[in-house]
Structure 1
């Protein structure tokens, strides 16, 4: 009985180990990939797990306002930058072929900056790019584009590095992060660990030193005419200190801060600040981001760590107990057989020796005289 029960437990143990390996090496990798489709949230923030827009706010910002048929002006006020991303399942199915098939997804991105006091739109951009499903880094795709600050059509761009997300299981190391203004990926340094509303996050910092944006001559001339009439040439200098807090398991942003500056530098006259704004995720965006990152983190840890470890422990215990029962059962059976064999050999009774028979006097067959008989 013990041996039979042990064999059953041993089989269960082997099955648990196989399931643990399957969960760790086959199931977990499938959930640590960007899905092909995600649902955008409605006005009530439903359905559960939907994509919510990110909102960053800059208080007392100084910024350039451009209006049709009016000269550019510098304003001061509260800016609100809204960013939305939307996976393009249909485009992915058609465009991600060859080496990109199954390995990349296409995302659309849309950004709007509004002056909250008036509701006026200050700037907008739209983009479409391909992201590696595992690392979330931009990959080469011939139809990627970025359209920003102008009615002209989409312009060619080469996205690279991280854009809207960090890799699953983000490591404490430097990465590359794409900047829309300079239109290339630049290093973003690991800057430590910090808790954001109770959630542990990796902090990354990217410092972009003063860089000439190389704007078209006609745009620079229009700015010079408004803010430096005596200048014959000039340039727009951009700088930014970008800090991103990342939940490391999911790779999701939980907080973003960008300290942006743009200066018009003429060859004559004084420089003019076209933008001086400190954008930080709103409290509601931080709360939404932490909730979303926590949900994704728990799912990834459950499938990639908790379930495999539980199956591993249960399988190992079942193997050990099962093996012990099998061996002890076999020993018990062997001992019982040995006792049975001993009883058969030592317990049988040998035939008792016969007692010697009394000697009988055998007559010779002749009659015995009466006197002789009596004497006897």
Structure 2
């Protein structure tokens, strides 16, 4: 016989609270990689494209643009005027039995005009052929000397090329003049350095050394200074009236002597001449006597405003085209590449695990 359950025990069990099941901590969400949103992908493409563009431009500026900008003009049409006071000159003088007289204490003006030579054959694509017309006049007395020098020159390096009939015409009676073999530089090169250069001297008919002597400022432009010193030396001979040298002969063969000290003020980026000063001596010697033909201290005045503007513009633009702009553009391009990489990084998304 089974005992009946105790009702008090049953009631107590039914009223006791039931403990909830233990709560387990949720597992950490796993991480997954994904493409960045469309706006960031677009921005990445823009940054990459702009970076590539800047790199290409930075490379092309010194290699392609600069060589096409830093060239001499085919037809310069430039004039340079130098003046001197208290000069000594030998001028034709019909009133003198010798046919010429030495004048002292006179003022002189030397003018050089450079223009394109016409009707030239054999010129290369990068050659310029110039006619350099020089006139030396004595104030109040007229023309002392005139000549036309034909020069062929490389427009990029500014060195002589002798491609196209280089010559010197000093007399109307000989319009073809005599051949010249130029050497060295007629004008200073683009990107002039602080070093010596071989500069052409028409009186020597060869080049001589122009030494770098320092930096300065002229007409508001930063310049390099060079000095070319030619000691007194024999440079040829010339037939002159014997009376000039105390000779009874109608004409004598006189030795020609020349000396010069020339100082240049050069804008270094373009090689433009901002100023010139020259102390020059030309003498003739025969029969034991020396006659001074020309002695003066010449100096250029202020260049024309367009030439000053050209030199100032070159000083500003050419250094950037030659290298500065490339450095800046390439650095910016690389920074844009870095920015594009950061923008284009995959987004790490949170993924909730399935239950």
Kept in 2: contact 1:194–1:200 (CA 8 A): yes
Listed as ranges, the matches of 1:119-268 within 5 Å are 120-141=142-163, 143-148=165-170, 151-153=173-175, 154-163=177-186, 165-216=187-238, 219-220=239-240, 222=241, 224-229=242-247, 234-268=254-288
Q: What TM-score comes out, normalization by structure 2 length?
A: 0.80
Is the alpha carbon distance of 1:305 and 1:311 closer, same or farther for their aligned partners in structure 2, counting shifts above 3 Å? same
Kept in 2: contact 1:16–1:314 (CA 8 A): yes
Kept in 2: contact 1:16–1:311 (CA 8 A): yes
- Write 1 or 2 for the structure with the bigger share of strand: 2
Tell whether 2:300 aligns with 1:281.
yes
* Corresponding residue for residue 60 of structure 1: 86
How many aligned residue pairs are there?
A: 311
Tell whether 2:349 aligns with 1:311.
no
State the alpha-carbon separation in 2 of the partners of residues 317 and 90 from structure 1: 54
State the alpha-carbon separation in 2 of the partners of residues 174 and 28 from structure 1: 24
Counterpart selection for 2:290 from 257, 263, 271: 271
Q: CA deviation at 1:311?
A: 2.6
Kept in 2: contact 1:127–1:145 (CA 8 A): yes
State the alpha-carbon separation in 1 of the partners of residues 341 and 163 from structure 2: 56
Kept in 1: contact 2:81–2:110 (CA 8 A): yes
Q: What TM-score comes out, normalization by structure 1 length?
A: 0.76
Q: Which runs of 5+ in 2 are unaligned?
A: 1-36
* Corresponding residue for residue 64 of structure 2: 26
Is the alpha carbon distance of 1:227 and 1:89 closer, same or farther for their aligned partners in structure 2, counting shifts above 3 Å? closer
Kept in 2: contact 1:36–1:89 (CA 8 A): no
Q: After superposition, what is the alpha-carbon deviation per residue over 1:145-193, rounded to whole angstroms, capped at 9, x for unaligned?
A: 1112563331111111111x21000111111111111211122222222
Is the alpha carbon distance of 1:66 and 1:28 closer, same or farther for their aligned partners in structure 2, counting shifts above 3 Å? same
SS of corresponding position for 1:162 = coil
Q: CA deviation at 1:108?
A: 1.2
Q: After superposition, what is the alpha-carbon deviation per residue over 1:221-266, rounded to whole angstroms, capped at 9, x for unaligned?
A: x1x4224336976422211111111111000111111111112223
State the alpha-carbon separation in 2 of the partners of residues 69 and 117 from structure 1: 17
Q: CA deviation at 1:131?
A: 0.3
Tell whether 2:28 aligns with 1:10.
no
Kept in 2: contact 1:37–1:89 (CA 8 A): no
Q: Which runs of 5+ in 1 are unaligned?
A: 41-50, 349-376
Q: CA deviation at 1:324?
A: 1.1
Provide the aligned C-alpha RMSD in A: 2.4
* Corresponding residue for residue 16 of structure 2: none
169-178 or 187-196: bigger deviation: 187-196
State the alpha-carbon separation in 2 of the partners of residues 81 and 288 from structure 1: 21
State the alpha-carbon separation in 2 of the partners of residues 69 and 143 from structure 1: 40
Q: CA deviation at 1:69?
A: 8.8
Is the alpha carbon distance of 1:149 and 1:227 closer, same or farther for their aligned partners in structure 2, counting shifts above 3 Å? farther
SS of corresponding position for 2:344 = helix
- Write 1 or 2 for the structure with the bigger share of helix: 1
Q: CA deviation at 1:57?
A: 0.3
Kept in 1: contact 2:152–2:164 (CA 8 A): no
Q: After superposition, what is the alpha-carbon deviation per residue over 1:27-78, rounded to whole angstroms, capped at 9, x for unaligned?
A: 111111223344x3xxxxxxxxxx3x10000111111112579611112311
Q: CA deviation at 1:287?
A: 6.0
State the alpha-carbon separation in 2 of the partners of residues 205 and 286 from structure 1: 23
Counterpart selection for 1:296 from 314, 318, 326: 314
State the alpha-carbon separation in 2 of the partners of residues 281 and 291 from structure 1: 17
Is the alpha carbon distance of 1:74 and 1:150 closer, same or farther for their aligned partners in structure 2, counting shifts above 3 Å? farther
